[in-house]
Amino acid sequence: MKHRQEPPGDKNIIGSRVVAIRKSKGIKQREFLARLQTLGLEVSVGYLLGEEKGWV
């Protein structure tokens, strides 16, 4: 996946909210992924990281 040339600014709404909620509840990325998978959502580690960093 090609990374953005410019920072996402305020365009990455979902990623920043996921990070804020996850950290406020003290949940690590792997634990968060496991919870999503138990709900039937197939999300990869790479996708979640990209979403949180604004690469997606």
φ, ψ for residue 33, nearest 5 deg: -60, -40
To 5 degrees, how large is the angle CA 29–CA 35–CA 36?
90
Where are the domains positioned within the chain? Answer: 28-56
Instruction: Pinpoint the alpha helices (H) of the chain.
Output: 13-24, 29-38, 45-53
Instruction: Give the span between the Cα atoms of 45 and 29, in whole angstroms.
Output: 8
Q: Which two tokens stand for residue 46?
A: 């790479």
Does pTM top 0.85 for this prediction? no
Q: Read off the pLDDT of residues 38-47 as tens digits, 9 standing for 90 and up.
A: 999 988 988 8
What's the confidence (pLDDT) of residue 4?
60
